[in-house]
Structure 1
Amino acid sequence: MQLDETISVEDAVQVLAMVGDLSMGLPPDHSVRTARLAARLAEENGDAADACTSTRLVGLLRWSGSTATAPGFSNLLGDDVLGRHAMVTRTLSGNPNLTLPNVLPLAEMQCEVAGDIAALLGLAPDVEEALRHLFGSHARGDMQDALFAPNIPRAVFYVRLAGDLEVLAPAHGTEGAMRLIGERAGVKYPATLVERLAPHAQDWLDALGEPSCAADYAGHDRRVPLTIIADVIELKLPWLAGYSRRVAALAKRSAVGAGLIALEEKPLVRAALLHGIGRVAVPNSVWQRPAKLGDLDWDQVRKVPFWTARAAVLVPAIAHDTTLASFVYERLDGSGYFRKARGEAIGPQERVLAVAAAYAALTSPRPWRPAHGEAAAGTLLVAQAGAGRFDRQAVSAVLEAARSMAPKPGRAKPVRDALLSSREVEVLRHISLGETSREAARAMKITPASVRTHVDTIFEKLEASSRPAATLKALTRGLI
């Protein structure tokens, strides 16, 4: 089903900035503050207004690719959220896995995905180029050797320096932050830029409540698909790819059957696409726990809708959508979270959203269980409605919608373009969900070598060098 909801470029950037911050374990306004500080640096260095604007956008999208590297950092650090926070604040020590050969491929992946996000949003080429160089490049050697290459955009240095000051000052104080920054002067950023910052560091940090350059750049109000945000969020857990799209499509198809009027359908679909914002704040190790979640795990999971609701404060344009989205885990009997809302406190849209999300989750495979069949999922939801957790009419509407949307036997899912062959699309569907070449080969009854050959071809055709980047592009093009 085509999902036509859109968001302005500037609002999308703001949402993605928050998603990146939460994914890195940072305060949800960290990238906003970094962007303002980086813009001040650009101004102090004599850059023109358009360069200031580009620097601001690079600062906002600095961590936008971090969902793509969450699985890798989870493997390296155990906790991709708190671990990365400790890493960037330089409070992490004694981890033997933090070596350049281990970290550099993840840094490259993060740059690639951030650059692709900028391209999907239609941002200026210099913004995309800066994001692609923000953490180094294989093509130019390691991260230190690449710093002073003549084709590295200046915004890279402004954002690196601003980001380090903004993230290190709370952990080490401004003086301590400048001391740590000084150790990398001439290595991570030009020493002259550090000297220019030093006299202003505390004053600029104190004044970061005020923007230093405008957010009304050319094209800031152009509309882009809201699905971009959902897709970026779900790169955090490969097996989630396309999940929010499925929830949105189910909710849209269920709206009439659930008794909603036409005006209620649009915010319902938007909420479905945004309901996963808070998920990025929870470590991957919790989401992939093979055993029953413990009390501490549940404490983190219950914060997911809280952080989704928090987006309403930081990005007012989506306030209604994210407030609605934050009810996705509430239940009529009060057993849900995070508000413990019950009964009439949960409106008709919220009831449909809750059931659509539950059905989409039940019928999707998870690391700890296979997907439930449609009949089994329906039986579970009907039982939950009978127990007073879900709305009966909403359950009936979602199950009817699911039946009407089920692919006909023997009919392949249509795609919007013919860039990839049908076999390549099949391979991509498997690897986009996090399957290894061996797992995909077993499912498709081909050899792992054949899968790897197809993957190489897919990457070449999509101009991608990593699975998250290929997944993001494929979802956008309707290939998977």
Structure 2
Amino acid sequence: MPAGGLDIRTFDAVKALAFIGDLSMGQPTDHSLRTAWLAAQIAGAASFRADICDTVREASLLRWSGCTANAAEFTNTFGDDVEGRAAMLAERPDWAELLNAQGGPAQAIAPLAQIHCEVSGEVARILGLGSETEATLRHIFETWDGNGMPNQLNGKAVPAAVFVVALAGDLEIFSRVYGLEHALVLIAHRANFRYPATLTIPVNTHAAQWLDTLAQLAPAALDAALLTPQMQHSTSPDLIADVLDLKLPWMTGYSRAVATTAAACCARLVADPEASERVYRAGLIHGIGRAAVPNAIWDTPTRLSAAQWEKVRLVPYWTSRAGKQMGTLDQATELASYAYERLDGSGYFRAVGGPALGLEARILAASAAWVALRSKRPWRDALSDVAASELLRTEAEQGRFDSDVVEALLEGEPTATQSASPRNIRYAAETTRLSSREIDVLNLISHGASNKEAARALNLSPSTVRTHVERVFRKLECTTRAAATLKASAMGLLR
């Protein structure tokens, strides 16, 4: 990993996570930005304190930061995790039918909400945002009438920002999907059970004006309106990779491994630390567009259909689009969008090759392939280092990869899937809290292993593994595997 210069502005990390969340929820890629602006208007009209107005901005942007974490469970319950969530947010009739078929919200949604809330709250904590933002995200699905999730808290026990964010989200989605008039009707139906009716009064009065103003805002003006003091600080971009990889358990650690591998390869070829830093960042975020593709496609064990493959081909396109709103990450994101291009022009999404691919793009492409080939996937087993090396060299001979890059890549030792030390100082003191056996169990369950599978791998009984899992959760102060995975990654414990 490059030694310095890696940290980015927290606001840019938050916007990256908002982009990922919008893709995951089947929303336009400015949905969270627009929601945050509307939430600020509602909070201001309700005369909330300045700190709560900042909280609603931050929580609105990070509201969907936990949705990659429960994508696998959402898929198992409802099928298409992207389209299903879009139907849920728009309250489409097909969603109501699907939800009823699964036993209603309490049975089908509550476990997903628990995962989502734990992870999004942890994201706020890792980013160093205020405790009020963390608390808001941990309760983001609670309701005014006390029937929300995951804890059915009485409305007065829920942070006020929760209701502002929920109302702003409804206004943004309903007005876009159904028009403002119908949106206000739907909001009126939710008053006094989803959020207090008093909050909806300024919405009825000012919504048309707010939406007109929002439509005219330039991106820079929107950023200025959303930036809070806490988001002006700096943070590691590693969190973006960790949140991305939560979408698929078998991807755990993949983006960090690509970043580390690419940076090491670059250092062998170029005596320029800034180049290594660029490819490291690009490696972390090269899979941003993966959030737009349903898990069922990624988990397909057989050859993809033409329609499925077309969605996969758009992954780097969406990654490129993300750079348009990510400030200090724009250069790294553009480089990241070349991760699946090939030297002979057979890659995607641009299908360019030759001189159009700079050295850093060639390094990133080869590094991503090298890490992926040695990782187990639903459609194939992991290749050995020898087999992966032979395949890369063969593809280089056929003109798909740069031969010099491949040789420099293979000069190094096989790269672990994660960095060996925590990148986030908040966790530096926590790495000694887990025993070595607990870390072994955590590594297996973080990669999708069940308790029985972990027991077989470690030659333990399932009950012993269950005890270790319970201890890990207790020590890490979480109740879900996704939250434990995110914390373990920040602590540098995954391999």
Q: Given the two structures, how large is their TM-score scaled by the length of structure 1? A: 0.94
Q: Which residue of structure 2 aligns with residue 199 of structure 1?
A: 205
One-letter amino acid of the counterpart of residue 315, structure 1? M
Q: Does the residue aligned with 2:8 lie in a helix, a strand or coil?
A: strand
Q: Which residue of structure 2 aligns with residue 410 of structure 1?
A: none
**Superposed CA offset, 1:336-386 (max 9, x none):** 000011111000000010011001001111122221110000011001001
Q: Which residue of structure 2 aligns with residue 68 of structure 1?
A: 69
Q: CA separation in 2, counterparts of 1:201 and 1:414?
A: 48
Q: CA separation in 1, counterparts of 2:179 and 2:250?
A: 40
Q: CA separation in 2, counterparts of 1:141 and 1:35?
A: 25
Gapped regions of structure 1 (runs ≥ 5): 408-412
Comparing 380-389 and 175-184, the one that deviates more: 175-184
**Superposed CA offset, 1:400-444 (max 9, x none):** 1244x579xxxxx78872211111111011000111111111111
Q: CA separation in 2, counterparts of 1:342 and 1:247?
A: 21
Q: Does the residue aligned with 1:207 lie in a helix, a strand or coil?
A: helix
The CA RMSD over aligned residues, in Å, is: 2.0
**Superposed CA offset, 1:111-133 (max 9, x none):** 11111000000101111111111
Q: Which residue of structure 2 aligns with residue 121 of structure 1?
A: 127
Q: CA separation in 1, counterparts of 2:462 and 2:212?
A: 56
Q: Which residue of structure 1 aligns with residue 425 of structure 2?
A: none
How far does residue 141 in structure 1 lie from its aligned partner after superposition?
6.1
Q: How does 1:65-464 map to 2 (within 5 A)?
A: 65-91=66-92, 92-95=95-98, 96-97=101-102, 99-100=104-105, 101-136=107-142, 142-143=148-149, 146=152, 148-209=154-215, 210=217, 211=222, 214-259=225-270, 261-403=272-414, 405=415, 417-464=431-478
**Superposed CA offset, 1:80-129 (max 9, x none):** 00111011111224211262211011112111111100000010111111
Q: CA separation in 2, counterparts of 1:311 and 1:255?
A: 24
Q: Does the residue aligned with 2:81 lie in a helix, a strand or coil?
A: coil
Q: Which residue of structure 1 aligns with residue 41 of structure 2?
A: 40
Q: Which residue of structure 2 aligns with residue 58 of structure 1?
A: 59
Comparing 253-262 and 279-288, the one that deviates more: 253-262
Q: CA separation in 2, counterparts of 1:463 and 1:309?
A: 36
One-letter amino acid of the counterpart of residue 261, structure 1? D
One-letter amino acid of the counterpart of residue 127, structure 1? T
Q: CA separation in 2, counterparts of 1:206 and 1:414?
A: 48
Q: Given the two structures, how large is their TM-score scaled by the length of structure 2? A: 0.91
Q: Does the residue aligned with 1:438 lie in a helix, a strand or coil?
A: helix
Comparing 103-112 and 141-150, the one that deviates more: 141-150
How far does residue 220 in structure 1 lie from its aligned partner after superposition?
2.5
Q: How does 1:458-473 map to 2 (within 5 A)?
A: 458-473=472-487
How far does residue 262 in structure 1 lie from its aligned partner after superposition?
3.1
How far does residue 67 in structure 1 lie from its aligned partner after superposition?
0.6
One-letter amino acid of the counterpart of residue 8, structure 1? R
Do the aligned partners of 1:53 and 1:214 also contact (CA within 8 Å) in 2? no
Q: Does the residue aligned with 1:340 lie in a helix, a strand or coil?
A: coil
Q: Aligned pair in 2 of structure 1 residues 144, 268: CA closer, same or farther (>3 Å)? A: closer
Q: Which residue of structure 1 aligns with residue 492 of structure 2?
A: 478
How far does residue 73 in structure 1 lie from its aligned partner after superposition?
1.0
**Superposed CA offset, 1:195-224 (max 9, x none):** 221122222122224449744433333221
Q: How many residues align?
A: 472
How far does residue 148 in structure 1 lie from its aligned partner after superposition?
4.2
Q: CA separation in 2, counterparts of 1:262 and 1:118?
A: 30
Gapped regions of structure 2 (runs ≥ 5): 423-427
Q: CA separation in 1, counterparts of 2:257 and 2:175?
A: 42
